[in-house]
Amino acid sequence: MSALRIAVVSNDPDVRLEAARAFDEAPVSWSVSLHTSAPEDVDIVVLGPDADGDGIPFDPADPRSVIDEIESRTGAREGAVIVVTSASGGVGATSLALHLAAALAPAAGVGFIEVTPGAALRLGFMPGEHLTWADLDESSESIARCFLPVAPGFRVLLAPEDGGDPGLVLKRSRSAFDLLVVDAPARNASAALCEADAGVLVMGPSVPQAHWARAFIEEWPDLDCAVVINRLGRGGETTRAQLADLVGRPISLELPCCPALRDAEDDGRLVSLKWTRFGRAVTRLADALVVR
């Protein structure tokens, strides 16, 4: 999936301004540009009252109608939700969720939402110095304002320190992105999992982790869920096949130990997806989750 490219065409600067305001309510994954003549390399052309040609007419008296018409013609729908959760805490689910969003970003408009605080420092945001989903209001502009852009090419909506129910946040955010990656710890994942189209269950390479993972799967039998083993360091001799038997389903992916990941987290950034075994594994997971 890629961003929808829309050109607004009019010789009247007032009409172009009204159109720009109308598209403030459009999904943030739409790329809107203003022109006096229609360009060739766009998906949709919107024509002001003074413009001729083939395109969707823009009515300054009913600006919202142009968004409804584009959604109708393109079959626009709510974005898919991928929830990354864990059988227990401390197994690297947040790191995987962030890197999964980065891997998906080149091909889609991706938003990242965390349910509980934890991702800010990993992205270089200092506590208390950024907007969170507690700052969302009823205006459409608040989605674009509160989802903060980060270098890998996606946008993040961070959680407030006092937490809360993210269910309404997820419902409001779905239409703004092609894909939402949600970091939802096991202890507070229910609201996110109810909205999920797919899940990623992260577990450590141990027998207790496998039992906890099996209990999670039994609790959410209808969730399309990939099981991922994350080897944070040297572990025991329990094999991938043995863990799969305990979980009761195949292991989709085994992430290798990655010292470069720890160094990147210390610097408030993400690790390269191209030059590490961890990054290449995450890219394979992204390819399996989404048909590009």
Looking at residue 114, its pLDDT comes to: 93
Say how many C-beta atoms besides its own lie within 10 A of residue 76's C-beta.
18
**Domain 80-289, CATH 3.40.47.10 — does that match?**
no
Q: What is the pLDDT of residue 2?
A: 47
CA 71/CA 88 separation, integer angstroms: 40
Q: Which helix (H) or strand (E) holds 44?
A: strand 44-47
Nearest to 257 by CA among 285, 288, 287, 281: 281
**What's the Cα-to-Cα distance from 223 to each of 49, 176, 220, rounded to whole Å?**
48, 23, 6
For the chain, the structural domain boundaries read 5-74, 80-289
pLDDT on residue 5: 86
Q: How far apart are alpha carbons 74 and 69 in whole angstroms?
A: 9
Blockwise average pLDDT, block size 10, the chain, 292 residues: 77 91 77 90 91 90 86 69 90 94 90 91 85 79 86 91 74 82 86 89 94 94 92 77 95 90 88 89 90 44
